[in-house]
Structure 1
């Protein structure tokens, strides 16, 4: 019988494969090493292949697509209900093989190499930002033990640390001054790495027409535009702007029953990084919009009268996500007067 559907449970070294025919009958259960994958699937007729969206999934998806197979990625939490027994590689591959055939299954768009490269820049920058914040907090805490207080903020570390080292040569132990100098140099190096990665992201943003288009939306800059474009890919994978906003976790959670609608706070599903960028951008728009002459009659001003500040911020982030979908899905230019 011909194999039509295959589930692959990815791993670092040993990969489990489960195949079924058009009637769902098991035709294949096999373990493969990484170097055997391409040879094995080259000899198979074009099939529907399902994988969980995890490490290396996008790489293998593009490789298998080049062989003529149809590859679909799924979030692991959507596959888990199809595991019928104790968790192991064979059971996971069988569950993936069954889940990929479900007509209501939600799939993850496959990212290209360029998208993954841009997202790698963002992840690396995010890591350096976290390390820089941790180093700043450590410096601030060590100095507080010596009675020296530095206000919050990265800029205060850069300004005050050289002065403290110069003034404290006679009042603080030499070993402590040497440690401060070492930690200060580490902090400067982390800050330098963040700025260099931001320049790389800015260069990619300026060379991409779609990213420049998104940056015209108030509350979306080079970082947000490039991250959204690299994560979303083809906006037509989403049926509507609301579906994109739901994918980003910017819509209310529901706890409804018996026909009674009960909406809670935002779902916070999806990518935390993208949602954070959108919300911070919306917060910046609210901060400066009150000083504009056209603010009084705007949609935002009317919203601020009805709801509190944080709800207005999330509502604006939600609206921006829907605008992003409209611009990308219909290839339009942003018009600031439309829907104001």
Structure 2
């Protein structure tokens, strides 16, 4: 048997099975279809043992597409001492003439592209980081569910021409007013009571998730970064935790422009020859982190100021971090007014502010990671 340095293995993963192909490193070697195996951990482990015994002197390099099945295959393969790459489906090169797509072809294609180094691996979070991200997303889903229930109840009242004369909706006074309502038909009264009960249940659910999220964030390894970036205006606990949970280790970006591009906050471009056409932002990358930044960017429409709440969030932070936050506030508030004075659209202005916000967040995160106060955080960094 010939000795090989690297064996490239492509996996087309699905819920119940995995299509496997492999290719040797030799010049001119073509990908070979291995077959279909079960997606159980035992089957994946057996596949690894098979290639280890068949190619004992080779380094196994695996690749598969990111999808709803998560990263357990990546963690299983890397825990057994082999290299594994996860790639985004949107970044896989595709020929315009390809009109046939099968699982076998996908596995062969991944293997060939891995050998020719035409794939860009994505960042895979640690299990702890992914758990905090799931909790943060669950809290956001609970908030959206609560809003939906409130909208449905208000729509019911609007159809029956019932208006609340108070000032604060969903206050204790408003909820008591809802319990005293009597609708024209008994069936509608049942609907009203169900809506009220649903709202109360979802309020309690949201409170539970808020408490759990706060507790786990304080135990998280990235809590120093979450606490530090709250020194910035428009970045409270939920926004800070959501951004860091979605992006993970910000130090893997060696320049903030790469982070802006990763979030899809940079303008698209289609230039050729002497013409340069700049379009809307690319909107690639993590959409939730981008949306959280845009929400925080709205606060810069006011003049630069250190409020009491912001002062409390900055207490105990190093002076270098507070200086970065103040520098960001001075620049972004000024830029906000300047862009509006030029006649720019409100959405464009907020997006521009969000793009610069992430640059200052990157600077603060880098300051925290390089600080000797947090040596554990620096050791816990995960390479890109």
Normalising by the smaller structure, the TM-score range is: 0.7 to 0.9
Which of 6, 10, 13 in structure 2 is aligned with 1:7?
Answer: 10
Q: Is 1:146 aligned with 2:160?
A: yes
Structure 2 counterpart of 1:338? none
SS at match of 1:211: helix
Give, in angstroms, the shift of residue 85 of structure 1.
5.7
The answer on whether the counterparts of 1:248 and 1:275 sit within 8 Å (CA) in structure 2 is: yes
Contact 1:140 1:150 in 2 (8 A): no
Q: TM-score, normalised by structure 2?
A: 0.77
2:148 to 125, 129, 134: 134
Give the aligned partner of residue 52 of structure 1. 65
Aligned in 2, Cα 1:267/1:163: closer, same or farther, shift over 3 Å?
Answer: same
Query: Which residue of the other structure, out of 69, 77, 99, is the alignment partner of 2:82?
Result: 69
Deviations 1:5-55 (A, max 9, x none): 111111111110110011342244221102311121134343111111112
Change (3 A) 1:164 1:197: closer
Give the SS at the match of 1:44: helix
* Cα root mean square deviation, aligned: 2.9
* Correspondence for 1:186: 198
Query: Once the 2 structures are TM-superposed, how far is the Cα of residue 209 of structure 1 from its aligned partner?
Result: 1.7
Q: Distance in 2 between matches of 1:84 and 1:299?
A: 47
Aligned to 2:217: 205
Match of 1:38 among 35, 39, 45: 45
RCO higher in structure (CA 8 A, sep ≥6):
2
State the secondary structure of the residue aligned to 2:273.
coil
| TM-score normalized by the length of structure 1 | 0.86
Match of 1:219 in 2: 234
Which residue, 23, 31, 40 being the options, matches 1:26?
31
Q: Structure 1: any 5+ residue segments left out of the alignment?
A: 334-340
Aligned to 1:325: 362
Deviation of the 1:257 alpha carbon: 2.0
The whole-number CA distance in structure 2 between the counterparts of 1:302 and 1:48 is: 48
**Secondary structure of 2:71 counterpart:** helix
Distance in 2 separating the partners of 1:200 and 1:155: 27
Maintained 8 Å contact 2:332/2:353:
no
State the aligned residue count.
Answer: 329
How many angstroms apart in 2 are the aligned matches of 1:117 and 1:319?
28
C-alpha distance in structure 2 between counterparts of 1:17 and 1:26, whole Å: 10
Q: 1:164 — aligned with what?
A: 178
2:32 maps to 1:17: no
Deviations 1:283-308 (A, max 9, x none): 1233x436679999745324422344
Deviation at 1:239, TM superposition (A): 3.5
Structure 2 gap segments, 5+ residues each: 53-58, 308-325, 372-384
Instruction: Find the aligned partners of 1:315 and 1:199 in 2 and give their Cα distance.
Output: 33
Cα distance in structure 2, aligned partners of 1:86 and 1:99: 17
Say whether the 8 Å CA contact 2:31–2:112 is kept in structure 1: no
CA distance in 2, matches of 1:49, 1:56: 16
- CA distance in 2 between counterparts of 1:154 and 1:189 reads 20
Q: How does 1:274-313 map to 2 (within 5 A)?
A: 274-286=289-301, 288-289=302-303, 298-307=331-340, 308=344, 309-313=346-350
Give SS of 2:51's match.
coil
Partner residue, 1:337:
none
CA spacing shift, 1:271–1:224, aligned 2, 3 Å: same
- Offset at 1:314? 1.6
CA contact 2:65–2:87 (8 Å) conserved in 1: yes
1:266 maps to 281
SS in 1 for 2:94: helix
Match of 1:88? 102
